[in-house]
Amino acid sequence: MSVSRISRPETLTAIGIIVVAGVFMIPAVELRPISALLPIAMLAGLIVLSLVLLISDQRKASAGEPAEAMTKSPRRVAGAFLLIVAYAVATDFIGFYVSTAIAIPLVAYVFGFRNPIGLAVATVIALGTIYLIFDFGMSQEFPAGRLGLR
């Protein structure tokens, strides 16, 4: 069965991410400059990486390579989406830092990184960097959660 160049899974994914990131970019540019920095940087990064994916997949299509299956592990992808939803809910209830301290090693573990020391170091580096740049350096407050945890 032949798949058109536009309906290839990676191409559709890249186009979808570009469109969604572009839509989210509209309210992000209306934020105060200091508050807009992170969302705009993240959205711009998503758009650039999606363009790279799109170009790469279209090159493969023009070379006649068959489209790869969208996922080789649908349970892992579904689990990742559930973890994202759980993280958003946890951030609302227990706060950003506590939720992130739990989410970083949990997601890494689920995706196969099992070294406890590496998980701890990655978590400390990520949270420390976020704290130093945004909380300490830019005086930006992250959600403390409904339970008042920071």
72-116, pLDDT tens digit by residue? 767 777 777 788 889 889 988 998 899 999 999 998 887 788 999
3 confidence band (pLDDT: 50, 70, 90): low
CA distance 149 to 114: 28
Give residues with Cβ within 8 angstroms of 37, minimum separation 6: 138
* pLDDT for the residue numbered 148: 65
* pLDDT for the residue numbered 129: 92
Give residues with Cβ within 8 angstroms of 148, minimum separation 6: 95
Among 22-26, 42-46, 69-73, 142-146, name the one with the lowest average pLDDT.
Answer: 69-73
Q: What's the helix, strand, coil split of the chain in %, to 5?
A: 70, 0, 30
b/e 19-35 (16+ beta carbons within 10 angstroms → b) = eebeeebeebeeeeeee
Segment 109-122, tens digit of pLDDT: 877 889 999 999 99
Biggest alpha carbon–alpha carbon distance for the chain? 56
**Is residue 77 a contact partner of residue 71, using CB atoms and an 8 Å limit?**
yes
* pLDDT for the residue numbered 42: 86
Segment 15-39, tens digit of pLDDT: 988 999 999 899 889 888 877 887 8
**Is residue 90 a contact partner of residue 144, using CB atoms and an 8 Å limit?**
no
1 pLDDT higher than 50: no
Residue with more model confidence, 139 or 105:
105
pTM value? 0.61
150 pLDDT higher than 70: no
CA distance 110 to 113: 7
